[in-house]
Chains A and B, each alone.
Chain A
Amino acid sequence: MSGRRILAMAFKEMLQVWRDPRSLAIALLMPLMQMVLLGYGVSLDIRRVPLCVFDQENSQLSRTVVQQFTASGWFRISEVLDRERGIREAMNRAACIGALVIPADFSRRLATTGVGPLQIVFDATDTNTTNIAMGYAQGVVALAGAALDANWTAAHGILPSSVGRIDLEPRVWFNETLDSRNFIIPGVVAVILALIGAQLTSLTVSREWERGTMEQLISTPVTPLEVMIGKLVPYFLIGAVDGAFCLLAAVFWFGVPLRGSLGTLVVTTALFTAVVLAFGYLISVKVKSQLGASQVALVVTMLPTTLLSGYTFPIDQMPAPIRALTLLVYPRYYVTILRSVFLKGSGLVQLAAPVSGLVLYAAVVLWLAARAFRKRLD
């Protein structure tokens, strides 16, 4: 292996990237766009869920309950209904996702039994939103219940017999503090690096085939390993810039707490970048057209990364065969690593498993790519 050749290769590649505005734009602007799109677009938090109210009692107490819902910030009252049938109509018009029904004897039953029955009907077309909204609703009710308890205690001097409402209380606080963004953003960083990285290198070899420069290059004594290293070095630098940008945005823009060490973050990010670039390079060697390579890179990174990396869908909830499949989806290791470093403050020792997963991946992909590059036209 010759350092001279690697250097010549790397320098040439760097010049080409620099002079190709399209590559450079992909390299530097895409992470920015994706960070904004995915960072803001993919949020499991839902604010101001439209809610219809059918208040059959319309007492001071029932109005207090409705107010509790709006005051929480999670719900807004989109419509006030005067008959039960209106609920279905409102949902059909998509005027609301849920409907709060307060029975006519709400205050009386609360006063006599200590339990005031409320009904919430949800439009479960979007199960995810519904689940979250239901969680919020329970939280609001529990909060309202606590307030009512206080009133009851003040009025009667004793605690009410209902214990169910009090049970819900800790979940309110848990929900309030756990911003899903803290969980999502580290995943977004992993997804962005996986997509951009593979795109960057997916073009590097196919471009030379398409432009006819590859025939000249393989007529020289340069070795496949020298070509690979020379071509990966400049993209590694770009990947490092992208990685740093995404991580800085996660911490300073999205405010995700970084509890682990910067060193762990740098080492694991560098490792992941190497895997991602090597993967794109492997595609580039195998698919000799730029368009084809770029498409393949998009398909084989986009779907597994978004679906199987655990970035949105938890891996331990997947059926066993799919769970086994995720072992091949390298971003899953980095998603795990980032979440642990950010939220739990894990170091390299605790992360030994996912880190060795990445190391193994890097070794295998680089080996395959070096082998796949053949200095022959047939």
Chain B
Amino acid sequence: MSAPQPAVLAEGLTKIFGKFIAVDHLDLTIATGEVVGFIGPNGAGKSTTIRMLCALLTPSAGRAFVAGFDVVGAAEEVREHIGYMSQKFSLYEDLTVWENLRFFAGIYRVPRALFPERGRFAVTMAGLEGREDALVRTLAGGWKQRLALGCAILHRPPVLFLDEPTSGVEPEARRRFWELIHRLAAERVTILVSTHYMEEAEYCNRIALIDRGRLVALGSPGELRRRNLGGTLVALECTPLGAARALLREAPGVAEAAIFGDRMHVLLEGGGLDAAGLGDWLAARGVTAGKAQVIAPSLEDVFVRLVAGRRAEAKA
């Protein structure tokens, strides 16, 4: 072997359920120690991809290697080398914190001598000191998720797949969860984590944007922002928002207009309206508009742009 092998390698990975193409020729390479965020709306194919990489679903086409093992031909080796947190919380609610840890330590054959220390580590990591004998059912969402992560890393897997680990967890607990992810990454653990919280994407080394089964963009948050927008982004307050959006989408020089909270984000591609003229243009058409400000694009802007582009292509 010459080049260091990637922790995750997917080539043309495809999954078809009946007539529905859940994942469509996805290519993805993740280097050891990377934290890659898997971003996309519900039903985009994030979970299906993760499940194929965990050898839980058989790909319809393409191939994938995790920690160097083929997810089809060497499924058991793949399972030895990964930790997985499914989208739905999946520890045993009728077992205590410690019983869950002991169960997964047994299943992963963590050496008995090492278990007390690793179990303790997981309890500390989850912030569950003193609650080892509490039934998992009685824990709040954030603690459950951190315990699930603790169970998934008892055997110190080199690759972790986390499927929306922070969904339904309050912001403070989400922030703590991401701290844990980065501590693991610092120890060269490779992590693929899916989320639909755009702001969480900023925590990742690289982001894979996925929409309707296809990988739309792949790169670091900064790269994606620079590369994919191709224009000037401005924000302005206006009322009514719906009418403003309808008007702007037909306006000359406007590539995209989207509502963000109580403001419009408008992408200007040049050659038509500019930031200064936007307010007057809207006012002339019966929409009250504030002053337009040029803003740095967020990942959500990028995503809206990319997805809208794809939708337009699909229609054409």
Contact = CB atoms under 8 A, between A and B. Distances in A.
Contacts of B56: 215, 218-219, 375-377
Contacts of A5: 106-107, 109
A19 B99 CA distance: 13
Contacts of A220: 79, 104, 107-108
B88 A215 contact: yes
- Pick the 5 closest A-B CB pairs, nearest first: A8-B106, A216-B90, A219-B84, A212-B88, A215-B86
Contact of A221 (B95, B102, B103, B108): B108
B10 interface: no
B246 interface: no
Interface stretch (A10-18, A241-249, A269-277): A10-18
A212 B89 contact: yes
13 contacts: A2-B109, A5-B109, A11-B106, A16-B94, A19-B94, A211-B90, A212-B86, A212-B90, A215-B90, A219-B84, A220-B104, A220-B107, A377-B51
A227 to B, nearest CB: 10
Given A8-B106, A215-B86, A378 B58 contact: yes
Interface of B: 17, 51, 54-58, 75-76, 79-80, 82, 84-86, 88-95, 99, 102-109
Contact of A8 (B58, B91, B107): B107
B147 to A, nearest CB: 12
A377 B48 CA distance: 10
B58 A213 contact: no
Contact of B106 (A4, A15, A219, A376): A4
Given A4-B109, A5-B109, A377-B51, A12 B90 contact: no
B109 A219 contact: no
A90 B82 CA distance: 80
A20 interface: yes
- Count class of interface residues, chain A: 20 to 34
B109 to A, nearest CB: 5
Contacts of A329: none
A30 interface: no
Interface in A1-34: 2, 4-5, 7-9, 11-12, 15-16, 19-20
Interface in A204-224: 211-223
B106 A377 contact: no
Nearest to B100: A12
B113 to A, nearest CB: 13
Contact of A376 (B57, B89, B102, B109): B57
Nearest to A222: B107
Contacts of A376: 55-58
Given A214-B90, A221-B80, A223-B76, 17 more contacts: A8-B103, A8-B105, A8-B106, A9-B106, A12-B95, A12-B99, A16-B92, A20-B94, A211-B90, A211-B92, A212-B90, A215-B90, A216-B90, A219-B79, A375-B75, A377-B51, A378-B57
B91 A216 contact: yes
B121 to A, nearest CB: 19
A12 B55 CA distance: 24
A378 B71 CA distance: 14
Contacts of B104: 220
Nearest to A214: B90
B17 to A, nearest CB: 8
Contacts of B84: 216, 219
Nearest to B96: A15
A213 B108 contact: no
B82 A219 contact: yes
A150 B256 CA distance: 118
Contacts of A214: 90
Contacts of A223: 76
Given A221-B80, A375-B75, A213 B109 contact: no
A222 to B, nearest CB: 5
Contacts of B99: 12, 15
Contact of A211 (B17, B58, B93, B109): B93
Contacts of A217: 107
A26 B258 CA distance: 58
Contacts of B76: 221, 223
A22 B88 CA distance: 25
Contacts of A219: 54-56, 79, 82, 84, 86
Contacts of A212: 86, 88-90
Contact of B92 (A12, A215, A218, A375): A12
Contacts of B55: 219, 375-376
A218 B57 CA distance: 11
A216 B99 CA distance: 15
A12 B89 CA distance: 18
A314 B95 CA distance: 48
Nearest to B84: A219
Contacts of B105: 8
Contacts of B51: 377
A246 B82 CA distance: 47
Nearest to B93: A211
A375 B94 CA distance: 23
Contacts of B75: 375
Nearest to A17: B94
A221 to B, nearest CB: 5
A152 B244 CA distance: 121
A213 B57 contact: no
B108 to A, nearest CB: 6
Interface in A153-202: none
A7 B102 CA distance: 11
Q: Which of B75, B90, B104 has the most CB of A within 10 A?
A: B90
